[in-house]
Amino acid sequence: MIVARDYVFMCSEPGQEIIGKDIRDLGLNRVVVAACSPIMHESTFRSTCQKAGLNPYLIEIANIREQCSWVTENKQMATEKAKALLNAAVKRVYYHQPLETRKIPFNPNTLIVGGGIAGIRAALEIADSGHKVYLVERSPSIGGHMMQLDKTFPTLDCSACILTPRMTEAGSHPHIELMSYSEVEEVSGYIGNFKIRIRKKARYVNGDRCNGCGLCQEKCPSKVDSDFEAGMGKRKAIYTPFPQAVPNIPVIDADHCTYFLKGSCRLCEEVCEANAIDFGQEDEIIEVEAGSIILATGYGVFDPAPIRQYGYKRLDNVITSLEFERLVNSAGPTGGNIVLKDGSAPRSVAVIHCVGSRDRNYHDYCSRVCCMYALKYAHLIKEKTGAEVYQYYIDMRCFGKGCEEFYERIAGEGVSFIRGKVSEVTDRSLNDEEKGRLVVVAEDTLLGSVIRVPVDMVILCVAMEPQQDAEAVARLFKISRSADGFFLERHPKLDPVATNSEGIFIAGCCQSPKDIPDTVAQSSAAAARILSLISKGAVEIEADIASIDDKLCSGCGVCGSLCPYSATSLDEEKKVYKVNEALCKGCGTCVAACPVSAITGRHFTTEQIMAEIEGLLI
């Protein structure tokens, strides 16, 4: 030990300079920093060493914050633990060896999964810079949830009107290869060099021939509830989800097509002048390569039926927010007329906030957009029907740009705000006024009394939730999820677009509920991260990976069968196994498994680990 120093902000420039100066002046050949987690600042201190002429692997970090002082209130014990950790680091660093990182080429192609506004925005950013994007969307058209929305808060501009130009642009962009009605099946490889298998589902329509005339949809005899219309309207068995679909090529829904079900019909084929119908079409498997991936898989919508007291699917005219979006949309099933099930206009409407959000029985989190779209509904209902609107809220959260102003504007339009969570929507009336109507029961917490309001329509502002298959997608791309089920970002503040898997980024509501501006911002951020990787042209491979000693290896292959990244393979000539350094992640599985101890985990050698343990046990 040559020198020990104490400084408040060692990671600051002056702090780093202390280390650099000591390395230069005192000729240090090992450094130990006892501070925060290596996740935070290992790279900072490694480059400090490198700048001062010391190999960056000759430093060791003792984490005395996250795993020590932050996890206990017992100062005495924390101090003892800090001493032990520091001692272990000192013992370990003695055995550190200088290691070199290497660079491997970075494939400039990008895979984007999900064709909602998040995926579209990111795809355009990257493609506009001249780089290739594969945009994979599982439904027949890109557009996502934004396409289903009517107006957008707080500016009330038409959602479809601002989205469709971007969709068209993405659909015809020379650098975007759009794969709609397709799903990713397998992902292998690593940052810079991913290989992706994509299943392009059979459309039963030849996309090269189809001219999008729509005659087939007109003539098809089979009617099905439309997902796009949130079940409020119908579509045909051969369909595009909506008229502005991109690509404008229909698909045949084999589960509802008369020909597929009964063996005869083929009316679409008869009327198609372009001869585009192809009942023999099969799923296609496509393999692509990409250097980086953006997951923009969006959100699911909470089903409020389990909240029995709200009467969804039990009582007429209790609808979800997404259903209302379609009801109020001029291109929707009622042509934008807000009507009850019997076709009449409502005289009063209750809008219930936080349905499935901020509720431990369903989702703990706030869905962040409901307060604002609920205000939008009040405006649209007032404008179109003049009905009374009652907003049942717990807290109004109007934090976005222009949002508080919108709240004030809607309040000025004469909307009743009732602060209280609705306990029940019931058709059991207590008096004539309530008879035949929906009665909304809640405590008006500002009045301090329980009130019953008879209304004609109830809109449930349902939570945004992780997609049903979020778990499977996370597993497929080897990323983590947070406790709420959304994809986990690498750092909640400083790295909300990256994941713990290098080269895989997230954007939009697959990370957490958010509004359109935030989604677009995150998408552009993800694109920027990828563009910076592309412009570097290469990725640095960490040096702490496995290496096999030729002289000891017997070629048994245990390492090859266990490696999760298929990073070891047999050298046919020498009959020994070798490590593909680009694939190895340094997990250590093979090191532990090798029966003849021929494999060393660089930077995690047996003597380094034993020294560290010895240091801990002082």
> Where does this chain bind another protein (CB under 8 A)?
308-309, 354, 358-361, 394-395, 419-424, 428, 441-445, 448-450
Q: In this structure, are residues 201 and 182 in contact, taking their beta carbons and an 8 Å threshold?
A: yes
Give the residue with the Cβ less far from another protein, 71 or 450. 450
Given the complex with another protein, which of 46 and 363 has the nearer CB atom?
363
Closest CA to 488 of 475, 478, 500: 500
CB 236 to another protein: min, Å: 42
Nearer to another protein, 442 or 488 (CB): 442
What is the closest distance, in whole angstroms, from the C-beta atom of residue 247 to another protein in the complex? 44
Give the type of residue at 372: M
Decide whether 449 or 468 has the Cβ nearer to another protein. Answer: 449
User: Minimum distance between the CB of residue 359 and another protein, rounded to whole angstroms?
Assistant: 4
Q: 158 or 441, CB closer to another protein?
A: 441
Least separation in angstroms between CB 206 and another protein:
52
Q: How far is the CB of 424 from another protein (least distance, A)?
A: 7
Q: Any idea what the Cα angle at residue 24 is, between residues 18 and 28, rounded to 5°?
A: 90
Question: Under 8 Å CB-to-CB from 494, ≥6 apart: which residues?
Answer: none
For another protein, which is the closer residue by CB, 230 or 439? 439
**Considering only CA atoms, which of 117, 278, 130 is closest in space to residue 207?**
278
Dihedral angle sign, alpha carbons of residues 545, 550, 554, 560: positive
Dump the DSSP string for 366-418.
--SSHHHHHHHHHHHHHHHH--EEEEEESS----STTHHHHHHHHHHTT-EEE
* Closest distance to another protein from the beta carbon of 394 (Å): 5
Q: How far apart are CA 388 and CA 370, in angstroms?
A: 19
Query: Residue 428 Cβ, how far from another protein at the closest point, in Å?
Result: 6
Contact 113, 136 (CB under 8 A): yes
- Nearer residue to another protein within complex by CB, 65 or 419: 419
Rounded CA gap, 24 and 585, in Å? 33
Can you say whether the dihedral through the CA atoms of 328, 334, 336, 342 is positive or negative?
Answer: negative
Which of 211/445 has CB closer to another protein? 445
SS3 82: helix
Q: What beta strand segments (E) does 5-106 contain?
A: 31-35, 59-63, 102-105
- Closest separation in Å from C-beta 416 to another protein: 16
Would you say 331 or 441 has its CB closer to another protein? 441
Please, what is the minimum distance in Å from the beta carbon of residue 356 to another protein? 10
Which pairs from 13-19 meet CB under 8 Å and 24+ separation? 16/44, 16/45, 16/48, 19/45, 19/48, 19/49, 19/52
Integer Cα distance of 524 and 497 in angstroms: 10
